[in-house]
Amino acid sequence: MAALERTLVLLKPDAVARGLAGRIIQRFEDAGLKIVGTKMVQMDAELAKKHYFDLEERFGKSVFDVTANFMQTGPVIALVLEGVEAVATVRRLVGVTFPNQANPGTIRGDFAHTSKAYTEAKHTVAANLIHASGNPEEAKYEVELWFGAAELFDYQTVAERFLF
């Protein structure tokens, strides 16, 4: 049975700096996802280490360093989205990690274009606009890391009457 889930989305510094926040958030709302938490945060080194705790182990120190440094270059907008199978739905809407491989119609496919080859050659981060939790367990950890219970809201939207 499909589960009602919550997931974390971060609009990265490139999305904020390019003024894409409203257009990106609209995509999630258009898909029937509900915002239950939101805030703008300047990520510091401590939060980057907690958020990307396994990145160095999976991809190496240089990938962690580039990613953590990029995430500290400007504010991020943190969102908790709720909906049926929200984690998978968000991942589908966002598109694959490297924008040049993302399908048209996805957020990364429509608003970004960097490639893995370019980022590796320049030793830079893929400016891919968004972080989205990879699975329900990761979503639970990330939501709890970024938001306290008092920052999350339960309410019913008009659309929920028709969608669920």
**In the annotation, is 51 catalytic?**
no
Give the HSE-up count for residue 93: Cα atoms under 13 Å, Cβ half-sphere. Answer: 23
- Among 47, 83, 61, smallest CA distance to 164 is for 83
Active-site residue, selected from the candidate residues 51, 113, 123, 131:
131
* Residue 6 contacts residue 86 (beta carbons within 8 Å): yes
Rounded to 10 degrees, what is the CA torsion of 99, 56, 11, 17? -80
Active site residues: 131
